[in-house]
Structure 1
């Protein structure tokens, strides 16, 4: 089953966390926390741990994120975790990965499993979708 929605980033807060031991590369690694709010068939909020090696001026880099979601998918409420990553060359997204963490669901989303994706429209609208299944009877 697919649940789709849009989201906005309500907070993006860089942290002081640094890799140890320090290794100098052409793109430094940074860590941030994020808060996102979702609307549509995906409604709720998420708390995100975000790690990236990224050049803001060229838009080149790769990120890895772990999100804890609280809300509803197509009216079923609960919580779960999902992970995603992608690489960008400044004009496109490649090497995308998106998965719902097994055994992380609660409430009506207990037993959730599946994948999904994200896209950013030309006008800056952020889209998300979950292609998911729930345990039988949920």
Structure 2
């Protein structure tokens, strides 16, 4: 099954978490907590741990995010984790990875497996899709 939706970041809060011991690199590494709200064929919210090595001036870098989603995919409610990462030169996305974490589903989403993806359109709108399978009821 596939669902497509949009999301808005509703909180983006940098933390004090940094690598220990500190190692100087050309791009600083940081950790942010995020909240998102989803709409479309999926609805709900997520809490995210977002780690990146990023140049804030150019927008270039790589991120890795672990999200805990709670809501509805199609007509099924529950929660699950998904992980995604990508690299950008500031205007593109490459080396993308997206996976629903196996064995993380609850409720009607128990047993969920699959992949998905994220994109940002020219107007800055954020889009997400899940291509997933659920066990037979």
Q: Distance in 2 between matches of 1:88 and 1:56?
A: 12
Which string of whole-angstrom CA distances, capped at 9 and with x for unpartnered residues, describes residues 30-88 of structure 1? 00000000001110000000000011110100000000000000021000000000000
Offset at residue 91 of structure 1 (A): 1.6
The TM-score, its normalising length taken from structure 1, stands at 0.98
Match of 2:64 in 1: 64
Correspondence 1:3-22 to 2 at 5 A: 3-22=3-22
Q: 1:117 and 2:113 equivalent?
A: no
Aligned residue number for residue 102 of structure 1: 102
Give the RMSD, CA atoms, in angstroms. 0.5
| Correspondence 1:34 to 2:34 | yes
2:66 & 2:84 partners in 1: Cα distance? 7
SS of corresponding position for 2:122: coil
Tell me the equivalent position of 1:2.
Answer: 2
Give the aligned partner of residue 128 of structure 2: 128
Structure 1 unpaired stretches of 5+? none
